[in-house]
Structure 1
Amino acid sequence: MASASGYVPLRPVGGDRVPSLVMMAAEEIRKKILAGEYEPGERLIEERLTEELDISRPPLREALRLLENEGLIDRRPRRGTVVRTFTAQDVHEILTVRSALERLAFESGIPVKNEEWLEPARAALTEMERCARDEDRGSLVQAGYAFHSALIHIAGNSLLESIYASVQQRILFCMARNLIARERFYEGLNEHVARHRHLLELVEQGDPVAALAELAVHGERSFERSLASEQDDEV
């Protein structure tokens, strides 16, 4: 079952429940990655993590395995565990797929047929507002994903929801890096939340043209532009 943040906990092969200590450790590391406290390519040193999280190595290693399965970290020969790095092409592909899925949801789901379908998006927006006040960037990214995932639901298309969920962690990573880029150059956390509030208001009004126009300029490609610029500078 998904948490309030929209993250869907993983279970190991066989169906046994993951120990709560492992899940808590994975969540703490995940939030630090999404908040930008651990940068792409940065090595995650086990000795340091055991001290920071106050856990032993066995549950830490299981937590890292979960994050590797999610695609947030990589294990590399002679380098150990590092935060995953996405290329400009990776990001372009992820955002292209995400945009297409969200447009399809808006085109087929607005006007919204069932008012109750909007409640998860409203709840996610409330959580985003709390995260912005607390400057909890990692949780803000997760709440942002929950918001967008809830808007996918308005289409009433289970296959569309399943496809969107299948790239959850890749979308989360791009949303996290995008938040960092926008906060650095464009907007504060409150403005970030305000954009999402405005998008939801347009969906609630039932005008697909206005909602799609806002979605097209919603800002998810800021990170893609900044990443392309950085890689051009390295050439």
Structure 2
Amino acid sequence: MTGSVEDSPTAHTRAPSIISPPSLVELAAATLRRMIIGGELLCGQRVVENRLTHELGISRPPLREALRVLEREGLVRQVPRKGVIVTPLTLHDIYEICTLRAEFERLAVRLGVPVTEPTRLRRCELALRRMGEAIEAGDEPGYRECSFEFHLSVVGLSGHQRLEEAYRSLQLQVLLSMALNRQARRDRESLAGDLARHQRLLSIIEGGDPDAVLAELAVHGDRTFLDGIEDKVDGHTEAALQWLRRQRETPEDK
């Protein structure tokens, strides 16, 4: 007897999922996020709705909803009588972001170098290649996101999932500090030069000496934006000021 439809081997095959296209609010939030990460909207700068509705080609309701998304992420905030501003980083914020990031990276190097899993190195190489592709495309915010992914892949050399997840939780904050650093280095270093610094770091990682990798990270050039930073931001806690003085006692690649 011929089997029923229910007995057919293809009867229970699941249809492919239909992925909804991003909404206008999601697209606007993604664009604004990249403008902040890319330095087009600076920390502390007021968000001018009239200008953004014109530039993004959207009306006020989706723009305001997108801004609420970014407010939940901590990228913007509402200020009485001023409106929406890009969340300013205080000196204490910068101190916490930089010290936590550095400790995560140092721990990852201690755990993961020399590298025993070739796939982990290939992940670093892929991130570098994508950084190069972003340069070719003229996509500076995309380049910075790929740069974060490279540093995340360096943390991933540790094979420590919780460490990598903790580092990823800092993504938006690290990207903001990267934007400040890029602004500080813009006159002295092209994106190609920035890429070369990361290529040098990977080459040293491949050499397998963790102390050499840590020495390279110490002069990697990601602290250039700290020059004169206390005159540009508020939040001067004693802990942050002491840390800043120690940073200036350590030479960095210029």
Q: How does 1:9-28 map to 2 (within 5 A)?
A: 19-28=22-31
- Point out which structure has higher relative CO (alpha carbons under 8 A, 6+ apart): 1
1:37 to 35, 40, 51: 40
Aligned counterparts of 2:61 and 2:231: Cα–Cα separation in 1 = 40
2:173 to 162, 166, 170: 170
**Cα deviation code 1:37-77 (max 9, x no counterpart):** 11222111222212211122232222212222222211112
Q: Tell me, in whole angstroms, the C-alpha distance in 1 between the residues paired with 2:99 and 2:227.
A: 13
Q: Rate the CA distance shift 1:22–1:120 in 2: closer, same or farther, 3 A.
A: farther
CA deviations over 1:177-200 (Å, ceiling 9, x no partner): 11111113x312111110011111
Structure 2 stretches lacking a partner, 5+ long:
1-19, 235-254
Question: Is 1:121 equivalent to 2:124 in the alignment?
Answer: yes
Distance 1:49 1:155 in 2: 42
Contact 1:181 1:226 in 2 (8 A): no
User: How many angstroms does 1:135 deviate by?
Assistant: 3.6
CA–CA distance in structure 2, aligned partners of residues 143 and 229 of structure 1? 30
Q: Any residues of structure 2 matched to 1:43-58 within 5 Å, and which?
A: 43-58=46-61
- Once residues 226 and 138 of structure 1 are traced to their aligned partners in structure 2, the CA distance between those partners, rounded to angstroms, is 24
Q: Partners in 1 of 2:165 and 2:48 — Cα distance?
A: 34
Question: Could you say what secondary structure the match of 2:150 adopts?
Answer: helix
Residue 88 of structure 1 contacts residue 224 of structure 1 at CA under 8 Å; is this kept in 2?
no
Give, in whole Å, the separation in 1 of the partners of 2:123 and 2:26: 24
Q: Which moved more, 1:100-109 or 1:17-26?
A: 17-26
Q: Hey, which of these two has a bigger chunk of helix by percent?
A: 1
1:108 counterpart residue number: 111
**Equivalent position to 1:210, from 206, 212, 231:** 212
Aligned equivalent of 1:161 = 164
CA-atom RMSD in angstroms: 1.9
Give 1:221's aligned residue.
223
CA distance in 2: counterparts of 1:66 and 1:103, whole angstroms: 33
CA change 1:231–1:72 in 2 (3 A) is closer
- The equivalent residue for 1:182 is 185
- Which residue matches 1:9? none
Deviations along 1:73-128, one digit per CA (max 9) or x if unpaired, are 11112211111111222112210110010010011101112111123322221121
Residue 42 of structure 2 aligns to a residue whose secondary structure is: coil
Name the TM-score, length of structure 2 as normaliser.
0.78
**Greater than 3 Å deviation, 4+ residue runs:** 17-20, 229-232
TM-score, structure 1 normalization: 0.84
